[in-house]
Structure formats: C-alpha cells, structure tokens
C-alpha cells in the first residue's frame, strides 16, 4: 500500500516538475520572440503605412510597406529610391502634421534640379528619365524652394551637401521638396523596398 502511494506521489511530483518546465519554456519563448521582434523593428526592418496620396499610383493611401533600416549603412542614398524620413529635423516639413513621410529621391547633394522641357525634370541640365511616373505626368517648380543653395537657378534647386531633393510620384498632388525644400540625409529612416499590403498588390518597390 505504501509502495503504491509512494509511486503516486512520485508521479505527481514529476508531473508538476514537467508542468513547471513547460511553463518556463513558454515564458522564455515568448520573451525571446518579443525581444527578436523589437530588435528587428529597431535595427533591421519596420512596417510603414502610407498616410497620403502623394505617391499614387506607386503607393496608395493605406498601403503598408516594409522599410530596410540598414540599407544606407552599406551604400549611399540613390536617385529613384523610395525613402521614409522623419519630418521633425526638416524645418518646414513639420507643418505637414506627419511624423514620418515617404517620397522618392530625385536630386542628390550638389546636383541642380530644374523644370525643363515643359513639365519635365532636368538634373544638371540633362533630362531625367522617370519611368515610374504615369504617362503625361508634368512636374512644375514654381520658384526656388526654401533651403536650396543661394545660387540656385529660377524654377530649380541646387541641393546643399548632406541633403536630398525628394518628390512624390503624384506630382500634382504632392507637397514635397518643391515646397518645403531638400531633406537632411540624417533624417532618412530607411528605404521602402516591399509593398506587403494589400495582398493583391504585394511586390518589390
């Protein structure tokens, strides 16, 4: 009788130990998953929701993109990149009311962007091919944007060192560097490289 009781007590003790081990393992897994997700969002990739129609048709309002936050640790910001940047360090950009914005890089530091050939963009006097724009898109630069170099030409901007001239693909509906001036390279969060929502429009950018 005592032997049976002892076996039952041993089995109960082992079951309790196993339950405790399982609980500890689950807690460790959950903590590890949260930590990994935090590290990924902080240092590697971050989802971003498109707040306005300034990038239509490339990006629609409510689209969600994935931003590579390490991209520019390995190479410079390049023309044509779609970047997410923080408004706060960029003077007049704060008036948009959005903390983070998304635009396409058009002009690099030291380059001169002008409106040429009636609604087209020229870089240092050479026509810029913008295959990502819908046919018939026109681009106007009405004045010298704020924050451009003092020797900027009329209807253009010479981009200061460390800054980038960005525009939305929806040129007629985009309040961008033509109004607020070039952005600081240090304000760029990363490069948007993947549209991950909606499901029927998943694809690289």
> Is a pLDDT exceeding 60 seen at residue 33?
no
The residues, ordered by sequence, that sit 6+ positions from 116 with a Cβ below 8 Å of its Cβ are: 122, 125, 127
> What is the chain's mean pLDDT, rounded?
87
Given a cut of 80, is residue 132 above it in pLDDT? yes
Q: How far is CA 161 from CA 29, 84, 111, 147, 202, in A?
A: 47, 19, 9, 11, 35
Catalytic position from the list 71, 103, 163, 174: 103
Report whether the peptide linkage leading into residue 42 is cis, meaning its omega lies within 30 degrees of zero: no
**Is 103 considered catalytic here?**
yes
Question: pLDDT for 154-194, tens place per residue?
Answer: 999 999 999 999 999 999 999 999 999 999 999 999 999 99
Predicted local confidence at residue 15, as pLDDT:
63
6 is catalytic: no
Three-class SS of residue 42? helix
The mean pLDDT value for 18-46 works out to 64
Which of 54, 71, 152, 187 does the annotation list as catalytic?
A: 54
In the structure encoding, which two tokens stand for residue 124, read together? 């240092």
Which residues are registered as beta bridge partners of 193? Answer: none
Q: pTM (2 decimals)?
A: 0.81
Find the radius of gyration of the CA atoms of the chain.
26
d(CA 37, CA 89): 27
């Amino acid at each position: 009788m005592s032997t049976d009781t002892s076996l039952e007590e041993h089995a109960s003790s082992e079951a309790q130990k196993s339950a405790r081990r399982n609980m500890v393992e689950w807690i460790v897994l959950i903590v590890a998953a949260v930590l990994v997700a935090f590290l990924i969002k902080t240092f590697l990739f971050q989802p971003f929701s498109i707040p306005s129609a300034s990038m239509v048709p490339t990006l629609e309002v409510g689209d969600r993109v994935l931003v590579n936050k390490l991209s520019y640790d390995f190479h410079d910001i390049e023309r044509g990149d779609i970047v997410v940047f923080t408004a706060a360090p960029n003077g007049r950009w704060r008036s948009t009311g959005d903390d983070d914005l998304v635009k396409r890089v058009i002009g690099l530091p030291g380059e001169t962007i002008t409106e040429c050939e009636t609604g087209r963009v020229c870089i240092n006097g050479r026509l810029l091919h913008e295959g990502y724009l819908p046919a018939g898109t026109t681009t106007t630069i009405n004045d010298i944007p704020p924050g451009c170099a003092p020797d900027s030409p009329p209807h253009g901007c010479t981009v200061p060192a460390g800054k980038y001239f960005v525009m939305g693909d929806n040129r007629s509906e985009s309040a961008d560097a033509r109004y607020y001036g070039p952005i600081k390279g240090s304000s760029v969060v990363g490069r948007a490289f993947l549209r991950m929502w909606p499901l029927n429009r998943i694809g690289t950018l």
